[in-house]
Chain A
């Protein structure tokens, strides 16, 4: 079974630029999550989708972050414009049930 795929794996941008991350969950997984993991900290949920509907986006900085899940499968997370404090690893996870989350390899973003 293929795992959660994410791209790109690494991205370096300058502040005020925009960036987008892509996630392809495990086939058949209805729930998809985006987490932000700042260096030295545990991941923090940004947004959760159930199929293509948003379940929780309470911690998503909506003035600069946006996310969508097309046709309930792939998802993209966008940051525009980026700030220095957005430097982090962005993790995508998917789940067939509520409590078994499978994580992708993450995208490491560096904002200079």
Chain B
């Protein structure tokens, strides 16, 4: 069975600074996808960034980038130039790439507070 672990329940960062959220996962699959989702307070969950396991290059989306360490089964999210609108709960998620289900397995989440 696959598991996703986020060991930081809460984090805070000053506006304009950089913060890194940690995620580790466990799987015996060789083909899979990893995601970071953002869930702002009382708002719906949105996809921040996606990484295919077979790609060695780390994904980047504007101020968001990942550090994907496949051997260590680590998938951290770096947010550069943090903005107040980045305040949210962030979830790391996994799905098997070889499966037809596309079921997402989520971590417990990290609450990020960006301070002015």
Given the known A-B contacts A41-B108, A42-B91, are A103 and B44 also in contact in the complex, defined by CB atoms under 8 Å? yes
Residues of A within 8 A of B109 (CB): 40-42
From the candidates A50, A55, A101, A106, name the one contacting B104 in the complex (CB within 8 A). A101
Number of interface residues of B (CB under 8 A): 23
Q: Give B14-31 as 1s and 0s: 1 = Cβ < 8 Å from A's Cβ atoms.
A: 000000000000000000
Residues of A within 8 A of B97 (CB): 99
**Interface-located stretch among B45-53, B65-73, B76-84:** B45-53
Q: Give A15-52 as 1s and 0s: 1 = Cβ < 8 Å from B's Cβ atoms.
A: 00000000000000001010100001111110010100
Number of interface residues of A (CB under 8 A): 26
Q: What's the Cα separation between A50 and B103 when bound, in Å?
A: 12
Q: Which residue of A lies closest to B99 (CB)?
A: A98
User: Does A48 contact B108, Cβ atoms closer than 8 Å?
Assistant: no
User: Does B102 contact A42, Cβ atoms closer than 8 Å?
Assistant: no
Residues of B within 8 A of A48 (CB): 101-103
Q: Which residue of A lies closest to B109 (CB)?
A: A42
Q: Give B94-116 as 1s and 0s: 1 = Cβ < 8 Å from A's Cβ atoms.
A: 01010011111111110000000
| Closest-CB distance, B39 to chain A (whole angstroms) | 8
B64 within 8 Å of A (CB atoms): no
Residues of A within 8 A of B100 (CB): 50, 55, 98
Residues of B within 8 A of A33 (CB): 103-104
Which residues from chain A sit less than 8 Å from chain B, CB to CB?
A: 3-4, 31, 33, 35, 40-45, 48, 50, 55-56, 91, 95, 98-106
Which residues from chain B sit less than 8 Å from chain A, CB to CB?
A: 4, 33, 37, 43-47, 50, 91, 93, 95, 97, 100-109
* In the complex, the 8 A-B pairs of residues with the closest C-beta atoms, listed nearest first: A42-B106, A98-B102, A103-B45, A105-B44, A45-B103, A103-B44, A56-B101, A43-B106
